[in-house]
Amino acid sequence: MAAIDDVLLVRHGESEANRAGRFAYHAWDPHLTELGRAQARQLVAQLQHAPIKHLATSPLARARETIQPLAESRRLVPAVLADLAEVNLGSWDGARLIDLERSDSAAFRAWRQDPESNPPPGGESILAVGRRVLNALERYLETVEPGLTVAATHADCIKGALLIVTRTSGPSARTLFVPNMGQLLLRYHRNLHRWVLVLGPQYFPPP
């Protein structure tokens, strides 16, 4: 029987950077807010019936703190995957979004219009993010038993993965919104080395 893995990508809860309206890549490593910690605890209840076998996380604090309550509940140790980390924001790392908007720079206007063709100066495109996220997950899944993995990551990581799986162009990222704790369920067919998008509430509590 072909080995199949389900991966539930979960964006981290509200972080100090989210609340401050700031970008955060390497300049700082913000923690979850009180609301973000509550959202992380809610994930435990949401997935109480899910047959979780593995956990993974971005190395950044906001992702690790999001997965921690679930890890404690399931007595699992999350695998820390460096390539699940936030998009490289280049020279905008640590900047406030409102300041970039007020600057009305050509680079910022171009990024707003098409983030794939115009990533942040010195930064990373959406499709590049998606490729590194999926490649990291494939490498990880080859080392574990098939089953459901819940992985805590970041908004642009989820957008990029979705665009790669659906073979959609980078500019379409502007039509996607991933809120804090937003989720994407993907299925990986190991023998085919193929990802598919899964639609439906497979892992939500029954009514």
Hey, what CATH class is 4-197 in?
A: alpha beta
CA distances from 19 to 35, 48, 62, 96 (A): 10, 28, 12, 11
| d(C-alpha 184, C-alpha 149), whole Å | 12
Contacts with 77 (C-beta within 8 Å, 6 or more apart), sequence order: 55, 71
What is the reported pLDDT for 172? 86
Given a contact cutoff of 8 angstroms between Cβ atoms, the answer to whether 12 and 65 are in contact is: yes
What is the reported pLDDT for 147? 95
Domain ranges of the chain: 4-197
In the β-sheet with 148-153, what is the strand arrangement from edge to edge? 79-80, 52-57, 148-153, 4-11, 183-189, 194-197
Hey, CA dihedral for 133, 138, 140, 141, is it positive or negative?
positive
pLDDT in tens, the chain (207 residues): 578 999 999 999 999 999 999 999 888 999 999 999 999 999 999 999 999 999 999 999 999 999 999 999 999 999 999 999 999 999 999 999 999 989 878 998 888 888 888 999 999 999 999 999 999 999 999 999 999 999 999 999 999 999 999 999 877 888 999 999 999 999 999 999 999 999 976 766 655
Report pTM: 0.93
